[in-house]
Structure 1
Amino acid sequence: MTMIKIKLVKSPIGKPETHRRTIEALGLRKIGQVVEKNDTPQIRGMIHQVDYMVEIVD
């Protein structure tokens, strides 16, 4: 399965609770942290919800 790398670029502090939980569910804790996840529709949906706080890296 294809993998996707997700990087947290903005703090979830002060953001809606659902967005903070999505960031936590993606496994992101610190700004600049990169996690690698399977590229599934569920993960893409999570990224879409918090796209202003994360970026896809190569």
Structure 2
Amino acid sequence: MAKTMGKVLITQKRSTIKRPKNQQKTIVALGLGKINKSVEKELNPSIEGMIKTVNHLVEVKEL
């Protein structure tokens, strides 16, 4: 993860079925919810923490 504050493209790659509630809520808070849905976010410490929580469910690309 880059330390410079830039933009990232977050794509959901795995389902939230049978995942803890905090991971399900984090996916929704990121604006995801369906497999292969992508959102572009400004990288900041808050978003970085959310990505770390669900890093096994998403794919992240720096823009």
Question: What interval of TM-score do these two structures reach, taking the shorter chain for normalisation?
Answer: over 0.9
Unaligned 5+ segments in structure 1 are none
Percent identity between matched residues is 41
TM-score normalised per structure 2:
0.85
Equivalent residue number for residue 61 of structure 2 = 57
> Cα distance, 1:43 vs. partner?
0.3
Paired positions, count:
58
> For each residue in 1:31-58, what CA deviation from the matched residue of structure 2 results, as whole angstroms up to 9, or x when unmatched?
0011000110110100001110001135
Moved over 2 A (4+): none
Equivalent position to 1:32, from 36, 44, 47: 36
Task: List aligned pairs for 1:1-58, cutoff 5 A.
Answer: 2-58=6-62
Unaligned 5+ segments in structure 2 are none
Distance 2:23 2:34 in 1: 15
